[in-house]
């Protein structure tokens, strides 16, 4: 029998069988609240006085009641906190824009304090006219604005051998999505005049690691942006202030932060971060290099370890899907660990290489469930199970684990990170 109920537009909550938590008040109860001072029809205490002055916060911050919604680190994950990760709180985020304050971090030598007045971008190598741009120069070029996700290829990489992290923030939180504004790299490359011999670029950051990656010229001339703004304002220090590459759909580390140098060359540079790191070690011990694309992926976010269910009855099963190859075409959800699937709806904007929200209206009967989501992108690629991925990749990998996530919902409403064939 289908899990999907024919939900009318009315009575979403009144159909619910409340097992715990808040109780919706109906008319008979409305006027019995006189002993609860801040509840209607009473006038709450905060209406009985004037509030904080307009302009008291020239640059606003969240409510103190939301102080637990922050980026978090996992101390044991890396040897040093200057080369580590902080995770976005995906369980608490809505829509497709990640607040810049909550964008995940992955740095290789911490966050440098770059002076925008002194910072320069040099483009040189196999070009007619090498140039050095200051930030004012870059601001004068025609700009583009695009919403794109950035994901670390190590996202989920702790779980090749099975569930380990008991929070969505840590299983999938190396993922964020922003509105980026800047100059197309192709515009700057046209300015310097790319020689025919140039087949690759090197992008290098101005951090202590001189974090660098080789990128094929075809991608460099396609949709890459030299970005200076994120979600309307100048890029934050942790996201590459004053400029970074945004390399849509590819491993996050190729979107080089604090960008200082682009060199045009005829072959890749084989840097540390594309040889000893960011390669996929296969079952036979060989390493697949230059596996840049973040393949289609998805996860349920409204029901997860941080968001247990308090009530039976109606729930919107919501989550995010994304693909480095283009748009999400559809997302299916399963409540029985992948035995049967039902089509979710996509809601809001469905953009190229951006987070996409999916939604499925559902009535929980209180029984245990194995909840999954499965994304398909516009190329026809279908998100694999962990077993399908292991069959190809084995157990030696860290990167590019985009397999289907299973959340185990117990009869109490608790949710655990689980594995299901």
Sole binder of a second copy in the list 6, 35, 140, 285 (CB under 8 A): 140
79 near a second copy, judged by CB under 8 A: no
335 vs 358, which CB is nearer to a second copy?
358
Sole binder of a second copy in the list 111, 167, 331, 376 (CB under 8 A): 111
114 vs 168, which CB is nearer to a second copy?
114
In DSSP notation, 158-175 reads GGTTS---SSHHHHH-SE
Q: Give the count of residues interacting with a second copy (CB under 8 A).
A: 133
CB of 38 to a second copy, least distance (A): 4
DSSP structural state of residue 194: B
Helix (H, G, I), strand (E, B) or coil at 252: helix
Dist CA 260 CA 240 (whole Å):
10
Site string for a second copy, 160-199 (x = CB under 8 A): -------------------xxx-----x--xx-x------
Q: Per CB under 8 A, which of residues 362..421 are in contact with a second copy?
A: none
4 near a second copy, judged by CB under 8 A: no
Q: For residue 347, with 0-12 CB atoms within 10 Å meaning exposed, 13-18 middle and 19 or more buried, which class applies? A: middle
Q: Per CB under 8 A, which of residues 332..361 are in contact with a second copy?
A: 347-349, 357, 359, 361
Q: For residue 345, with 0-12 CB atoms within 10 Å meaning exposed, 13-18 middle and 19 or more buried, which class applies? A: exposed
For the beta carbon of residue 131, count every other beta carbon within 10 angstroms: 15
Query: Which position has the token pair 């992955």?
Result: 106
312 near a second copy, judged by CB under 8 A: no
159 vs 263, which CB is nearer to a second copy?
263
Ramachandran quadrant class, 129 (left: phi over 0; alpha: psi -120 to 50; beta: rest): beta
10 near a second copy, judged by CB under 8 A: yes
329 near a second copy, judged by CB under 8 A: no
Question: What are the strands, taking DSSP E only, across 294-368?
Answer: 297-300, 313-322, 328-334, 342-343, 345-347, 356-364
CB of 399 to a second copy, least distance (A): 18
76 near a second copy, judged by CB under 8 A: no
Q: Which stretch binds a second copy (CB under 8 A): 98-106, 336-344, 380-388, 392-400?
A: 98-106
CB of 210 to a second copy, least distance (A): 6
Sole binder of a second copy in the list 19, 69, 350, 418 (CB under 8 A): 69
Q: Per CB under 8 A, which of residues 25..44 are in contact with a second copy?
A: 25-27, 29-30, 33, 38-41, 44
Q: Which stretch binds a second copy (CB under 8 A): 84-92, 326-334, 365-373, 397-405?
A: 84-92
CB of 101 to a second copy, least distance (A): 4
Query: Which position has the token pair 């509030």?
Result: 51
Q: Per CB under 8 A, which of residues 199..238 are in contact with a second copy?
A: 206-208, 210, 228-229, 231-234, 236-238
Question: What are the strands, taking DSSP E only, across 118-248?
Answer: 121-125, 131-133, 144-151, 175-184, 200-205, 212-216, 225-230, 233-234, 244-246
Distances (CA, A) of 397 to 156, 160, 174, 277, 402: 11, 7, 17, 11, 12
CB of 136 to a second copy, least distance (A): 5
Dist CA 184 CA 198 (whole Å):
18
CB of 391 to a second copy, least distance (A): 34
């Amino acid at each position: 029998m289908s899990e999907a109920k024919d939900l009318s537009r009315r009575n979403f909550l009144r159909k619910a069988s409340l097992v715990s938590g808040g109780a919706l008040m109906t008319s008979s109860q409305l006027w019995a609240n006189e002993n609860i001072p801040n509840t209607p029809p009473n006038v709450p205490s905060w209406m009985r006085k004037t509030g904080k002055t307009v302009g008291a916060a020239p640059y606003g911050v969240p409510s103190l009641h939301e102080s637990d919604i922050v980026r978090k680190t996992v101390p044991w994950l890396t040897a040093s906190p200057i080369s580590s990760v902080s995770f976005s709180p995906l369980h608490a985020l809505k829509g497709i824009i990640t607040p810049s304050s909550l964008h995940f971090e992955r740095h290789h030598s911490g966050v440098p304090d770059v002076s925008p007045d002194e910072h320069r971008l040099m483009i040189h190598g196999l070009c007619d006219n090498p140039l050095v741009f200051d930030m004012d120069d870059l601001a004068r070029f025609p700009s583009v604005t695009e919403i794109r996700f950035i994901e670390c290829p190590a996202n989920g990489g702790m779980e090749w051998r099975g569930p380990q992290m008991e929070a969505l923030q840590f299983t999938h939180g190396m993922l964020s999505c922003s509105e980026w504004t800047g100059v197309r790299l192709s515009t700057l490359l046209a300015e310097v005049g790319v020689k025919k011999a140039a087949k690759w670029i090197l992008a290098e950051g101005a951090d202590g690691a001189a974090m660098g990656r080789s990128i094929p010229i075809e991608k460099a001339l396609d949709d890459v942006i030299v970005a200076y703004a994120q979600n309307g304002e100048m890029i934050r220090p942790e996201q590459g202030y004053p400029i970074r590459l945004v390399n849509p759909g590819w491993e996050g580390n190729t979107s080089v932060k604090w960008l200082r140098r682009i060199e045009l060359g005829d072959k890749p540079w084989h840097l540390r971060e594309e040889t000893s790191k960011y390669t996929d070690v296969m079952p036979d011990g060989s390493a697949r290099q230059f596996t840049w694309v973040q393949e289609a992926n998805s996860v349920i976010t409204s029901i997860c370890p941080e968001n247990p269910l308090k009530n039976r009855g109606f729930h919107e099963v919501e989550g995010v899907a994304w693909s480095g190859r283009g748009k999400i075409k559809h997302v299916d959800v399963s409540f029985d660990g992948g035995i049967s699937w039902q089509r979710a709806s996509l809601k809001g904007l469905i953009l190229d290489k951006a987070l996409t929200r999916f939604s499925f209206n559902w009535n929980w009967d209180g029984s245990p469930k194995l909840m999954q989501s499965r994304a398909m992108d516009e190329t026809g690629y279908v998100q694999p199970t962990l077993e399908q991925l292991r069959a190809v990749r084995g157990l030696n990998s860290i990167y590019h684990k985009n397999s289907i996530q299973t959340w185990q919902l117990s009869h109490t409403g608790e949710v655990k990170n689980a594995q299901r064939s």
